Structure 1
Amino acid sequence: MSSRPAHKSLQHRTIASAVAEELRRRIVDGDLKSGLQLRQDALAAEFGVSRIPVREALMQLEAEGLVKILPHRGAIVSELSMEEVQELFELRMLLEPRLLKASARYLTEMDYDRLDRILQEYGSELRAKHVRRWGELNTEFHNVLYQHAGQPRAQAIVANLLQECDRHTRLQLSLTGGMERAEIEHAELVRLCKNGKISAACALLKTHIEGVGKSLRQYFEEHNKAV
């Protein structure tokens, strides 16, 4: 049996992943605004690829909640309503403390070294206002905390929720004055876990997620009033 079809399939997936990564970056950075139509032929021409990997990339972004594919309109950049934002953060509040409780006792010295490095870079990037790295470091920080939970389905769901929340996390940090609070609470989460105070860490994590969601909803409410 020829291996060519498998090779071509792998090549398409690799190209699709690269296209998805670049489109994801543009959406999260705000270069591609909510409601913007993403035309497959235009994107294929821009990236110098066929429409097949572009279509696969858009389907991946739809699964992440960044794009909606609508009948007769094709793909558009999605816009989360306040209700959707509330649902995202409520799901995080339910799942993440559970994962932390299961994982915290198994965190190693190497894990804590990695968490400390993330926190150091996080603080530097916040002060330098390098917005693009905020969400990436936030996602990495939370994933390291939960990595030993032994609950792959819940971990996969949370990883997707963190991805969907990425641009909103950046918005919350940059526009609602949440930078200093986030930095303090992340450091306290690590300290509590390191000292074996897992229940207190889980309680703080729930408060932390709730606070981010609440400040985002307040921002949306004030923004909608001003429009």
Structure 2
Amino acid sequence: MPRSNAVFKESYNRALAHLEQAGPGANLPSETGFAERWGISRTTVRAILERLQSQGLIEWEGRHKKVLRRPERAEYFCEEETRTPAEKVEQRFMEHVVGGDLAPGTVLRESELAREFGASPSAVREFLIRFSRFGLIEKQPNRHWILRGFTRDFAVELFNVREMFELRAFEALLAEPPASPARTEFVAMAPEFQRILDDIESAYLDFPRLDERFHHIPLDLLGNRFIDDFFQVVSMIFHFHYRWNKAGEMDRNRDACREHLAIISAIRAGDTDLAQARFREHLASARRTLLLSIQWDNAPD
């Protein structure tokens, strides 16, 4: 398994988080258990275990795998390295829109975007076609793309659908046994959120990627292809902040980290009513943040 592979690096970071949560002396799951939990091949799992062993993080002999120490922050791959080529196109597109403060009606040309992003024209075209289904960009017949406005009404509609899906998914997570892979992975994210809180000024930009995983773990339990497709666009809009005011991003991410930790704490305590209440509060906070922070094209003067 090539060490430059984004899937390997993302999964390796998740393995480090698992070690941090488990602590020295803990035994690790089987290779099959890791593969099923993270949706990766056993070949990738073995590559991860080999690296963990070479770094002195685990002791590995046959089926015996024991944690020797907790990982240090420097041992994690940086966020940019864990992104697939498709994710990098998504990121560059949203940065292009936000950074350029592009107005509705702006012309977007595939060839120009491909050169700017350092990506193939086909990768850019595939992304634009997928993104266009939600009405934020539109293809002119036999010509270029046009950027459409992101209105307050659109944001409210988007969040209403997101809320329905997420509440159903969170109920499914709470219905899982405490030792299930999904519940275990969910609560194991606590040290990662705490790390960001402890070093918020330099680590707050790590939050969007982690937040995306936090919300996807429950959604993956539903196994619904329509929800999966919808949340690809939700992630782009909410995490790359379409027309977003970046001034308060650090504070927003700090507050969201605290909300996530409160949810995880309630789950650990076995208080499902409190966990649901805190999750609803988190969604309400996310809605307020979105509506207050975006620079609306249709906002009154």
State the Cα distance separating 1:126 from its structure 2 match: 3.6
Given the alignment of the two structures, is residue 31 of structure 1 paired with residue 104 of structure 2, yes or no? no
Q: 5+ residue gaps in structure 1? A: 1-16
Contact persistence 2:196–2:204 (CA under 8 A):
no
User: What TM-score do the two structures reach when normalised by structure 2?
Assistant: 0.55
Q: Which runs of 5+ in 2 are unaligned?
A: 1-83
Aligned to 2:140: 71
Q: Which of 207, 214, 218 pairs up with 2:281?
A: 207
1:103-182 equivalences under 5 Å are 103-106=173-176, 107-108=180-181, 110-112=184-186, 114-123=188-197, 126-128=200-202, 130-131=204-205, 133-168=206-241, 171=244, 174-175=247-248, 177-182=251-256
Between the aligned partners of 2:118 and 2:243, the Cα distance in structure 1 is 31
Q: Secondary structure at the match of 2:137?
A: strand
Question: In the TM superposition, what is the alpha-carbon distance from 1:37 to its structure 2 partner?
Answer: 2.6
Correspondence for 1:13:
none
Which structure has the larger Rg? 2
- How many residue pairs are counted as aligned between the two chains? 207
Q: Which deviations, in whole Å up to 9, do the C-alpha atoms of 1:110-144 show, x marking residues without a partner?
A: 4145312431344356431553x332111111112
Q: Taking structure 1 as reference, are residues 165 and 99 closer, same or farther at Cα in structure 2, changes over 3 Å only? A: same
Secondary structure of the structure 2 residue equivalent to 1:69: strand
Q: Within 2, Cα distance between the matches of 1:26 and 1:48? A: 9
Q: Which moved more, 1:139-148 or 1:73-82?
A: 73-82
Equivalent pair of 2:138/2:146 in contact (CA under 8 Å): yes
Q: Could you say if the C-alpha distance between residues 152 and 122 of structure 1 is closer, same or farther in structure 2, counting changes exceeding 3 Å?
A: farther
Give, in angstroms, the shift of residue 82 of structure 1: 1.2
Aligned-pair identity (%)? 19
Change (3 A) 1:47 1:141: closer
Higher relative contact order (CA 8 A, sep 6+): 1
Which of 262, 280, 290 is 1:188 aligned to?
A: 262
Aligned equivalents of 1:170 and 1:112: distance in 2? 31
TM-score, scaled relative to structure 1:
0.70
Cα deviation code 1:54-102 (max 9, x no counterpart): 3223213334x59512326622445421111112222222221111111
Normalized per residue, which structure has more helix? 1
Q: Which amino acid aligns with 1:22?
A: K
RMSD between superposed Cα atoms in Å: 3.6
Aligned residue number for residue 291 of structure 2: 217
* CA contact 1:34–1:78 (8 Å) conserved in 2: no
Task: Indicate conservation of the 8 Å contact 2:172/2:218, yes or no.
Answer: no
The letter of the residue matching 2:216 is N
Instruction: Give me the whole-angstrom Cα distance separating, in 2, the residues matched to 1:222 and 1:43.
Output: 24
